[in-house]
Amino acid sequence: MHPTLFVQFLSRSRRGWWDLANGFSDTYDLCRNQGDFHWVVHEPEGDKWYREDTYTSRPLPVDKGTVYMSVSYINHLYQAYVWARQHPGLKVVAGGPVAAARAGDPGAWTPLYFQLRPDVVFPDNLTITGLSVEQFFGVPDFSGTWKLDIPREIVDPGAPVYISYTLDNGCYWGRCIYCNIKEAPEDLFRRRTHMAYEFDRLDHTGKKIVRLNTGSMTPGYIREVLPTLPVADDLEYRTFMRCARAENRALQKVVSGHGPELPALTLGIGVEFPSDRMLAYMDKGITCADILETLRICGQAGIRVNGNMILGWNNLEEEDVEALEWFLAEMPENAMSSLQLRWLHAHPYTLIHQQYAGKPVFLGPFYLGFKVEISGAQKRLNQAAVDRIQAWAPRKGFRIEGLNNVIAQSGKAENAV
Ligand code: SF4
């Protein structure tokens, strides 16, 4: 095997598709000229990420040379740390979305999405970088042709695959109080300006679900990217959109002028906690009416919507639960496919991290923040919100996900069905 490897991870989701963390696709030729690609199947279940044997039992086919690792999730980064310790004769270089750097000293890497244990000593043979692959190798961002070899020894040619196509690595809004993306350095912002959609020519007969990576679709992307996406029976797209007025206007314009050739699209939207008071508190920059407008547009245009809602707030009032009830009653039927419930996680460098408390979560040397802990009275209000959602879901035709987790956090686990 070549002494230089470019490691990418993949894992099989519960729904049966392969999630490919294809971080070297934008620099395929550059990497191909220097070494071999090597795919590693990784653990998809979040609770197993905290078991040491998940990492120590995973083999690496080389013991010397250089391994570049594309790290999309924190378990990938921890794998880099474990391999560097297991193979002292190997040089390990890890970069990718989860290794993104925080603004500060340009000569030093400070992580954006987590913190380092103060006493941590990294192995000398491990380099973690917030640079893109192109920046690391000194070529312009997005100057190569996007390419991907799906590993045939692992993935059947007819299996559905989830692949990523990056639009940018930022969010033009950047203000939500539970999000740390605003801490990213401006000089490492990268944005694709030429959309060639090379995934259209992939040698793979199974369904291709393409994640259009950006923190939040801008009105410009909605106007310029959505109408030009390749349309085919085996192509689907997923992306995230903040339900702001400018985005809604752009989306309405696109769907009105597009006709039947609209690509199969699933939009992830942040419902967060649909009361205007709570949305303002979060600095989300939207109202409940804006979210309902997104649902109306998507429902009429056949765009699937996956909503995301956060529970665990410590400042809910009865009126917020009533606002949620109003929102659910107003929601168009069958406009939202699923609602993912999550308990509020306080990520480092966020306002939530300053204002809440909870038990710290670590993965090896990486401090990941905490799940928030709140008073009994606030748990009851959060649970009342969950009860309303459960009551409305069958009437409005959406599936609830993550229910048991939030019920466990709000203290009613014994009553969970
Ligand atoms: S819209 Fe999304 S990515 Fe942007 S700041 Fe808010 S939570 Fe973060």
Cβ neighbour number for residue 28 with a 10 Å cutoff:
20
Distance 159 CA to ligand 1 centre (A): 32
Give pLDDT, residue 416: 37
259 has pLDDT over 80: no
Q: What is the pLDDT of residues 22-61, one digit of tens each?
A: 999 999 999 999 999 999 999 888 888 899 999 999 999 8
Per-residue pLDDT band at 224 (split at 50, 70, 90): very high
378 has pLDDT over 90: yes
Question: Rounded CA gap, 397 and 414, in Å?
Answer: 26
Q: Helices 376-396 and 318-330 sit at what angle, rounded to 10 degrees?
A: 10
What's the predicted TM-score (pTM) here?
A: 0.94
Same domain for 380 and 290: yes
Query: Does ligand 1 come within 6 angstroms of the Cβ of 216?
Result: yes
Query: Does ligand 1 come within 6 angstroms of the Cβ of 180?
Result: no
Instruction: Indicate which residue's Cα is closest to atom 3 of ligand 1.
Output: 215
Does the residue 31 lie in any domain? yes
267: helix, strand or coil: strand
Does the residue 371 lie in any domain? yes
Tell me the torsion sign for CA atoms 314, 319, 321, 323.
Answer: negative
Task: Give the mean pLDDT of 327-333.
Answer: 98
Q: What is the pLDDT of residues 62-92, one digit of tens each?
A: 999 999 999 999 999 999 999 999 999 999 9
Rg (C-alpha) for the chain, rounded Å, is 22
Angle at the Cα of 179 from the Cα atoms of 216 and 122, rounded to 5 degrees: 115
Give pLDDT, residue 412: 57
Nearest to 270 by CA among 255, 258, 286: 286
Task: Give the mean pLDDT of 395-414.
Answer: 85
Give pLDDT, residue 411: 73
Does the residue 274 lie in any domain? yes
Residue 22's domain comprises 4-137
Same domain for 369 and 224: yes
Give every CB contact of residue 241 below 8 A, 6+ residues apart in sequence.
216, 217, 222, 247, 251, 267, 268, 269, 294
Residue 372, domain CATH? 3.30.750.200
Task: Give the mean pLDDT of 399-415.
Answer: 80
Q: What is the pLDDT of residues 160-200, one digit of tens each?
A: 999 999 999 999 999 999 999 999 999 899 999 999 999 99
Question: Rounded CA gap, 356 and 337, in Å?
Answer: 32
Give every CB contact of residue 107 below 8 A, 6+ residues apart in sequence.
none
Lookup: tokens for 386: 């969950």
114: helix, strand or coil: coil
Give pLDDT, residue 171: 96
Query: Does ligand 1 come within 6 angstroms of the Cβ of 171?
Result: yes
Per-residue pLDDT band at 260 (split at 50, 70, 90): low
Give pLDDT, residue 414: 40
Q: What is the 8-class DSSP label of residue 385?
A: H
Task: Give the mean pLDDT of 10-20.
Answer: 92
Distance 84 CA to ligand 1 centre (A): 33
Q: What is the pLDDT of residues 100-124, one digit of tens each?
A: 999 887 777 899 999 999 888 899 9
Same domain for 251 and 387: yes
Same domain for 27 and 129: yes
Q: 366 near 386, Cβ under 8 Å?
A: no
Nearest to 50 by CA among 359, 407, 394, 376: 359
Question: Rounded CA gap, 30 and 24, in Å?
Answer: 9
Question: Rounded CA gap, 327 and 344, in Å?
Answer: 21
Same domain for 258 and 375: yes
Instruction: Indicate which residue's Cα is closest to atom 5 of ligand 1.
Output: 174
Same domain for 269 and 362: yes
DSSP assignment of 192-252 equals: --S---GGGG-S--S-EEEEEE-SS--HHHHHHTGGGS---TTEEEEEE----HHHHHHHH
Give pLDDT, residue 339: 98
- Which of 137, 157, 181 is the C-terminal boundary of a domain? 137
Task: Report the nearest atom of ligand 1 relative to the CA of 182.
Answer: 5
Task: Give the mean pLDDT of 95-101.
Answer: 94
Does the residue 206 lie in any domain? no
Q: 222 near 245, Cβ under 8 Å?
A: no
β-strand 161-166 against 208-213: which pairing, if any?
Answer: parallel
Q: 36 near 5, Cβ under 8 Å?
A: yes
- Which of 91, 121, 137 is the C-terminal boundary of a domain? 137
Q: What total number of domains does the chain contain? A: 2
Q: What is the pLDDT of residues 295-311, one digit of tens each?
A: 999 999 999 999 999 99
Same domain for 380 and 242: yes
417 has pLDDT over 60: no
In the block, tokens 């259009």 appear at 212
Give pLDDT, residue 330: 98
Give pLDDT, residue 268: 98
Q: 2 near 67, Cβ under 8 Å?
A: no
Q: How many CA atoms lie within 13 A of 150 on its CB side?
A: 26
Does the residue 379 lie in any domain? yes
Give pLDDT, residue 409: 86
Query: Does ligand 1 come within 6 angstroms of the Cβ of 279?
Result: no
Task: Report the nearest atom of ligand 1 relative to the CA of 242.
Answer: 1
Same domain for 220 and 120: no
Query: Does ligand 1 come within 6 angstroms of the Cβ of 174?
Result: yes
Q: What is the pLDDT of residues 23-33, one digit of tens each?
A: 999 999 999 99
Does the residue 291 lie in any domain? yes
175: helix, strand or coil: coil
15 has pLDDT over 90: no
Query: Does ligand 1 come within 6 angstroms of the Cβ of 173?
Result: yes
Q: What is the pLDDT of residues 316-328, one digit of tens each?
A: 999 999 999 999 9
11: helix, strand or coil: strand
- Which of 88, 105, 137 is the C-terminal boundary of a domain? 137
Cβ neighbour number for residue 134 with a 10 Å cutoff:
17
DSSP assignment of 51-85 equals: -THHHHT---S-SSEEEEEE--SHHHHHHHHHHHH
Same domain for 226 and 375: yes
